[in-house]
Structure 1
């Protein structure tokens, strides 16, 4: 029995280890060969760098990478491609290799080609970037064809490359659009266009950024629509939608809007700096708010088409980002109010702090209110959801920890001053920032703890389980019976395989049958033996 188990484990482990080694080696060889080929192509495209040049080490490295790693990668790929059967296609190693290489080659070739296009705007030819883009584009096309092959394509992790490609394209688009729009706004405001690009016309930076944005839009469209990353559900697709599509875009929107409001308030109430200095970041803030809102609105509509759990997760994430901004605003406001009492603090500095805190609170507070809906009644099903409970526990726990640490800092400052430390001058100035943080974190912790207790009262109490654990002894196909036992009793099922009885050849018992069988049992642990014909022998066990 032991020898058979060891042989079975060895038979299962060896192919897995071989696939990991083979595909890791193939991944490294393809990268090395692509680097070498790009170096050779760069020398062919660069008219100022002949094949016989002073860069002998660089040429030797490119030749070695191309002529050694290239053939090795080709041979290894050919051998592995021929043996790609159903087992190989279903392996995690093959799916992970195709997904990672597709993503890496996409990032490298698209970035290199966009660098080339942006350089051409200023009449600067970049043969190295162009050569890198061409070679890695070939690698990407090659692996894209393998991922779509009818008989050789991986059957696992097929959604990884489309999701990562869509995320990368979205980031490229947003970054390029943000730069282009901020450049236009700065130019319209008479801002930093000339300072950022000294000696260049304002439209050059804008055009370069538009090229990056256009390239990102093409990459995003290809993966989002053509590869149907939009239709994927669960797993990485949901995480990318919530984290990148919602959380990051909400953060950019609120940060940009808060900065705009802060600059406007300073222009109105705090004219301690020149207008040029006050509006120097206004263009970027306006662009961040606009692009972030655009991305946020689109992904919010996409999230609404998914399950109720995803919709709830997007609300919680939006509320979390708004809560961080609003709590930060409250802390800064308290700090600013305390700063007005400090004798060594300049009044204009306190006013600047106060305007910053008000801006954060005014922008982030409504976002939190609309997402969290604190005044609306809570659905018991939502109160019982794991996502909401986890959010409440995390927010309460983290804010309580921050409040305790801040309280320790305040205590340290107070004792330092009471013990006559010569450096502990102006106590209020030293504790005003910790006090502001303590007020903010204390309010957050107290509120969310109260909400957590209220949600617990809304959720109906579950009846105590009599049966805590079931030890099931069954044949080779016991999963339907395992699920039926878990659904009927809620107990933890431990499975032991029988060697003398064939597979459980009858349908799993119904809920009514199991309720009749387990109804009289009061023991916490039960042994269930599944026999032929669906016969169940139930034996209560002593504690």
Structure 2
């Protein structure tokens, strides 16, 4: 007889698997969250105290009337500093355990402090150098830059050189640092070129008296050179270009391609608008007409450089990344072209009415033409509407998402414009006010442009669905079942954090996948498209997939050992 909870004779009892405790995860989140706050407070207090020390050297009073500020800085430094050191020592001891180094909280802490310290140190040091060029006091900025640069250097040592560096989020700090440097450098370069072009357009006689024009250019050049140095350090020295994570792809496409394309189109469109006004519309003084030209040319040059470089980098990446870059460029140019169409319709309708406000429809028409001329050809060259679409391109998730998003946004905007038109129409009829067409022309232009965009992309989406459905072969009955790729067993050799790759390989091949962890540090996660491409056409009973430290893939098919003498 067996009682409740007992196994029958001869059958071993079921093994009870203990549940993973959430306590270690919560402890790490709390510890590293508090440590993050303490490090930031301590660095802020120490920077203020160091700035006051510099004031002593220069002869400025330490306290003055700011006793409360001094008290806050002392408390942050003398209370927060020892607490941060104690908590950091406690966390550092536990990092001898590999599971601690493999935690996401530890990686987020190091990456977060490195990024924040880099932003604060860079902006403070660049501001200090700019102030020195201007001849102003820069003690506070210099103190802040020195302290935060020390925080960044210390945490970068932990991230890059220490044996207790995190194994998660590989390359994230390098990617974020490169984005910070790119934004700072681009802003400084645009400002410097704007000063040069404005000075050349205005002439030496219009320069401010007593203020050399090159002061502002030199200050902006400091930001451009400093930002470029930060970008180069993270992109080249810290191997940010070799990172193949999802964040790296987002930064490449979202910042390099999207940001550069927006800057280029905005600058080129404004430049063309100014030139058209100089040719056919002299309603404003010459100085007013030329006022936006310097900034527009500078934005077009800097944006074109950033856009072209990152577009070339994306072309050497996976098909998903390069395709995303093309779709982003197509979307930006489409917005510019559609906006130009709407503005042109608005301006043409304005010529048929007496505007309620004093405005020249000719200026509005030139603005629409400029936007259409800049965005239209780029969209045509990027999207290639008359070129046959490859089957793999039709099946790509990015293209489908792009079509749905463009259609959905355009339809929503068109619906809003239609509601505005209805409101204006009924309001004019009920109130008896004149000038109905003048009140409707902006909404009519927007409705026409967004309606065209929505209708075209909806038809393209339907065509893609129909082509995909027609290309799917009929199912073959009694087809042999087995691994999709003809691989019996797959051995993955990779560093820590290989769980996502294991899941992807099992779904991709249908084979038995095992993982052998390689010695050494962390390994960059490979791109799923690159993994599928590497295993395409590979067959064998056992295949070895080696993922290098930088995400490089090596596929080694194995054969069964042969007996001696054969």
TM-score using structure 1 length: 0.83
Match of 1:167 in 2: 179
Asked if the contact 1:36–1:66 (Cα under 8 Å) also holds between the matched residues in 2, the reply is yes
Shift of 1:9: 3.7
Distance in 2, matches of 1:365 and 1:166, equals 32
Matched, 1:342 2:345: no
- RMSD between aligned alpha carbons? 2.8
Shift of 1:230: 0.6
Asked if the contact 1:323–1:368 (Cα under 8 Å) also holds between the matched residues in 2, the reply is yes
Distance in 2, matches of 1:193 and 1:90, equals 64
Distance in 2, matches of 1:78 and 1:487, equals 44
Larger mean Cα displacement after TM superposition, 296-305 or 345-354: 345-354
Task: Give the secondary-structure state (helix, strand or coil) at the position aligned to 1:44.
Answer: helix
Task: Give the secondary-structure state (helix, strand or coil) at the position aligned to 1:375.
Answer: coil
Stretches of structure 2 that go unaligned for 5 or more consecutive residues are: 6-14, 478-498, 511-538, 542-566
Matched, 1:223 2:228: no
110, 131, 134: which one aligns with 2:122: 110
Distance in 1, matches of 2:346 and 2:118, equals 48
- Cα deviation, 1:152-210, whole Å, max 9, x if unaligned, reads 00000132210010001001111000000010000000179967x77521100000000
Stretches of structure 1 that go unaligned for 5 or more consecutive residues are: 467-478, 490-510, 514-543
- Cα deviation, 1:34-83, whole Å, max 9, x if unaligned, reads 11111111111013433353322222221111111001101111111111
Shift of 1:461: 3.3
Matched, 1:327 2:338: yes
Match of 2:438 in 1: 429
Change (3 A) 1:210 1:487: closer
Change (3 A) 1:140 1:304: same
- Cα deviation, 1:239-294, whole Å, max 9, x if unaligned, reads 00001000111011011000000000001101100110001010000000000000
Asked if the contact 2:264–2:304 (Cα under 8 Å) also holds between the matched residues in 1, the reply is yes
Change (3 A) 1:372 1:198: farther
Distance in 1, matches of 2:442 and 2:400, equals 31
Distance in 2, matches of 1:377 and 1:279, equals 44
101, 113, 116: which one aligns with 2:113: 101
114, 122, 138: which one aligns with 1:126: 138
Asked if the contact 1:119–1:125 (Cα under 8 Å) also holds between the matched residues in 2, the reply is yes
Distance in 1, matches of 2:414 and 2:215, equals 49
273, 283, 302: which one aligns with 2:313: 302
Asked if the contact 2:356–2:435 (Cα under 8 Å) also holds between the matched residues in 1, the reply is no
Match of 2:459 in 1: 450
Shift of 1:407: 1.1
TM-score using structure 2 length: 0.79
- Cα deviation, 1:488-530, whole Å, max 9, x if unaligned, reads 99xxxxxxxxxxxxxxxxxxxxx999xxxxxxxxxxxxxxxxx
Higher relative contact order (CA 8 A, sep 6+): 2
Change (3 A) 1:147 1:512: closer
Aligned length: 476
180, 183, 200: which one aligns with 1:188: 200
Matched, 1:38 2:38: no
Match of 2:426 in 1: 415
Distance in 1, matches of 2:406 and 2:502, equals 40
